[in-house]
Chain A
Amino acid sequence: MICVNGVTKRYSSTVVVDGVSCRIQEGGITSIIGPNGAGKSTLLSMISRLLPMDSGSVTVDGLDVVSTPGRDLAKKMAILRQDNQLTVRLTVRDLVGFGRYPHNGGRPGPGDRTHIETAMAYLDLTALADKFVDELSGGQRQRAFIAMVLAQDTDYLLLDEPLNNLDMKHSVEMMRLLRRLTDDFGKTVVLVIHDINFASCYSDDIIAMCDGRLVHQGPPAEIMRSEVLKDIYEIDIRIEEIEGNRIGVYFA
């Protein structure tokens, strides 16, 4: 379980994340939604120790993210941010292989190869394994990075807008993959996502943020209601139930 206790982040006078407390249960997909500038990515960055917090604390399975050694956390939780620029030239297989670093400390063993190949196969990257990452399209690169954190083989997977750069087909495939990871391997996935309908169809739990505060948390059935969404996004969103999923219609 991830416990977030009164986490706050401010930049000079602007408060970006304002005393957020929540629990993220083990197993299942938790989506963090909210308008631009709500502090979603900042919250995820603090949970994953990429960004220091000004006050509050975060524990992952009882490990405090600030004081626990990086390598121990890296075996427990993986984080992937939105834009991943590389200055080094390396192949997809090399990149995915780095996911094994917390386990092998830079000395690959025989077990690592299986993890790497499996992760690449999961993301449909086997044909691209020997291509350089900088030669890939945005979507392919995104998948290569996700394969890396998959090879890291952690209980918790934190993804900041994993659907960025992905077309419809790959978005659906990505969400199905995340669903499979939670259903088959009992992993816990936390993602920041903009598409509320993806969040509705695939999440077990939704955390809604607005102006740096956590405004709602609950299963999709609770969050995907016009009055709740109006409260979060300040627009009218009609909710239709299609094949058991609650879909928000807001295009017109």
Chain B
Amino acid sequence: MPETSTSALPAAVTEHRRHPVRAVPAKFWIITLGIAAAVLIAAFMTIELRGNLGYALPRRAVKVGSMILVAYAVGVSTVLFQTVTANRILTPSIMGFDALYVLIQTILVFTLGGGALLSLGAPVRFSIEVLLMVGFSFLLYRWLFTGGGKSLHLMLLVGIVFGTMFRGFSSLLQVLIEPSEFIILQDLFFASFNNVDAALLGYSAIAVAIVSAMAWRMRHSFDVLALGRETAVNLGVDHKRAVTTTLVICSVLVAVSTALVGPVTFFGLLVASLAYQLCANFRHAAVLPIAVLLGIIALVGGQLMLERIFDFDTALSIVIEFVGGIVFLVLLLRGKVK
């Protein structure tokens, strides 16, 4: 295409043609998805509700609450992570964050013993795990993201190596511990929405609220960070600090979602990619709520289908991983890796 003033005409033409596509504002999607999510939540709470309401309703509320919290944690952590690494294919899960969390849980059971760990009580145990998670992800990942000029392929490779290493180490320890301890461990990470501990949900919500406040204070710099390190530095953002803070936020959010439902590798990628596709507006004020709402719809809608249609025959994570894995492959094949 010819440049400069001579291109005013073709530019105007393309402008005109693409206008209808871009006319859907982010607000429309936020409202539509918000309504859809609310309807699904209401349906989940009320369908086939009979018998003792005092028993059934709180149980369903805990389930819905944990799904919302997981959708929030996964959506926000993925989008923010992709922002500070300035790419759209790496997610905390692909980089091995949740494998690290599983490894931390395994090491705790291995060293302290399952019984001792459980006797600590959910708040203490959860706090220890989250703190270890933040510390280790800080040590392991900070060097990778704060310096300039590391290629995406290197990061992807490091993520795969880390993830495999954490998982391998976890399974080694799991083989070594006693079978009874292993069962305790299995309960910890093959958690599903059907057996979420209400107390754990409360502590998770507090942790999520704290890191959300951290993210809220940085809200204006996220749009700038997405432009890449050099541009962000030029515009006066303290890149190293922003990336470090975001890494802490992401590790807490991953810890929360892994504690609640176990590792989900591609779920974050799925909701984040869909959110970018839907949202013509690149600003985080638009992308973040859309990603979270999509997550809620996927989880609550998926669980609803699972319980009512498939009669608990399969696990939600299998369905989500299947779809998310396909999205990951499509992104790779379409050359979104830059």
- A-side residues, CB < 8 A to B, are 48-51, 69-75, 78-81, 84-90, 94, 98-99, 101-102, 105-107, 124, 127-128, 130-131, 135, 137, 139-140, 148-149, 152, 167, 169-170
Chain B, 45-96, CB within 8 A of any chain A CB: 82, 86-88
The answer to whether B11 touches A85, judged by C-beta atoms less than 8 angstroms apart, is no
The answer to whether A98 touches B7, judged by C-beta atoms less than 8 angstroms apart, is no
The answer to whether B5 touches A127, judged by C-beta atoms less than 8 angstroms apart, is yes
CA A25 to CA B5, docked complex, whole Å: 35
Of B109-117, B156-164, B217-225, the one touching chain A? B217-225
Of B120-128, B226-234, B303-311, B313-321, the one touching chain A? B226-234
Chain B, 1-33, CB within 8 A of any chain A CB: 1, 3-5, 7-8, 11-12, 14-15
The answer to whether B1 touches A107, judged by C-beta atoms less than 8 angstroms apart, is no
The answer to whether A127 touches B86, judged by C-beta atoms less than 8 angstroms apart, is no
The answer to whether A88 touches B14, judged by C-beta atoms less than 8 angstroms apart, is no
Given contacts A50-B230, A70-B233, contact A87 B4 (CB under 8 A): no
- B148 interface hit (Cβ, 8 Å): yes
The answer to whether A130 touches B15, judged by C-beta atoms less than 8 angstroms apart, is yes
> What residue of chain B has the Cβ atom nearest to residue A86's Cβ?
B227
- B338 interface hit (Cβ, 8 Å): yes
The answer to whether A170 touches B3, judged by C-beta atoms less than 8 angstroms apart, is yes
Give every chain B residue within 8 A of A124 (Cβ-Cβ): 4-5
> What residue of chain A has the Cβ atom nearest to residue B237's Cβ?
A70
- B210 interface hit (Cβ, 8 Å): no
CA A70 to CA B221, docked complex, whole Å: 12
CA A75 to CA B12, docked complex, whole Å: 34
CA A48 to CA B235, docked complex, whole Å: 11
16 CB contacts below 8 A, A to B, read A48-B234, A49-B233, A70-B236, A70-B238, A74-B234, A79-B233, A79-B234, A81-B230, A87-B228, A89-B282, A98-B224, A102-B235, A106-B221, A124-B5, A131-B15, A148-B231
The answer to whether B3 touches A101, judged by C-beta atoms less than 8 angstroms apart, is no
CA A81 to CA B148, docked complex, whole Å: 13
Give every chain A residue within 8 A of B282 (Cβ-Cβ): 88-90, 94
A-B contact count (CB 8 A): 96
The answer to whether A75 touches B3, judged by C-beta atoms less than 8 angstroms apart, is no
CA A99 to CA B223, docked complex, whole Å: 12
CA A139 to CA B14, docked complex, whole Å: 19
Given contacts A71-B236, A74-B235, contact A140 B226 (CB under 8 A): no
Residue in A73, A98, A128 whose beta carbon sits within 8 Å of that of B11 in the complex? A128
> What residue of chain B has the Cβ atom nearest to residue A79's Cβ?
B234
Give every chain A residue within 8 A of B276 (Cβ-Cβ): 89
Given A70-B238, A88-B226, A106-B224, 6 further pairs, Cβ under 8 A: A70-B233, A87-B88, A101-B220, A106-B221, A130-B15, A137-B3
CA A128 to CA B2, docked complex, whole Å: 12
> What residue of chain B has the Cβ atom nearest to residue A71's Cβ?
B236
The answer to whether A98 touches B15, judged by C-beta atoms less than 8 angstroms apart, is no
CA A51 to CA B229, docked complex, whole Å: 11
Shortest beta-carbon distance from A20 to chain B in Å: 20
Interface string of B139-150 (1 = CB under 8 A from A): 000000000100
Shortest beta-carbon distance from B158 to chain A in Å: 19
Shortest beta-carbon distance from B18 to chain A in Å: 9
CA A81 to CA B233, docked complex, whole Å: 12
Shortest beta-carbon distance from A65 to chain B in Å: 11
The answer to whether A85 touches B338, judged by C-beta atoms less than 8 angstroms apart, is yes
CA A89 to CA B276, docked complex, whole Å: 9
The answer to whether B220 touches A105, judged by C-beta atoms less than 8 angstroms apart, is yes
CA A152 to CA B7, docked complex, whole Å: 26
Shortest beta-carbon distance from A130 to chain B in Å: 6
The answer to whether A170 touches B224, judged by C-beta atoms less than 8 angstroms apart, is no
Residue in B1, B82, B224, B280 whose beta carbon sits within 8 Å of that of A101 in the complex? B224
Give every chain B residue within 8 A of A135 (Cβ-Cβ): 14
Give every chain A residue within 8 A of B238 (Cβ-Cβ): 69-70
Shortest beta-carbon distance from B16 to chain A in Å: 11
CA A96 to CA B223, docked complex, whole Å: 13
The answer to whether B235 touches A152, judged by C-beta atoms less than 8 angstroms apart, is yes
CA A50 to CA B227, docked complex, whole Å: 14
Shortest beta-carbon distance from B183 to chain A in Å: 44
Shortest beta-carbon distance from B123 to chain A in Å: 36
The answer to whether B3 touches A87, judged by C-beta atoms less than 8 angstroms apart, is no
Give every chain A residue within 8 A of B4 (Cβ-Cβ): 124, 169-170
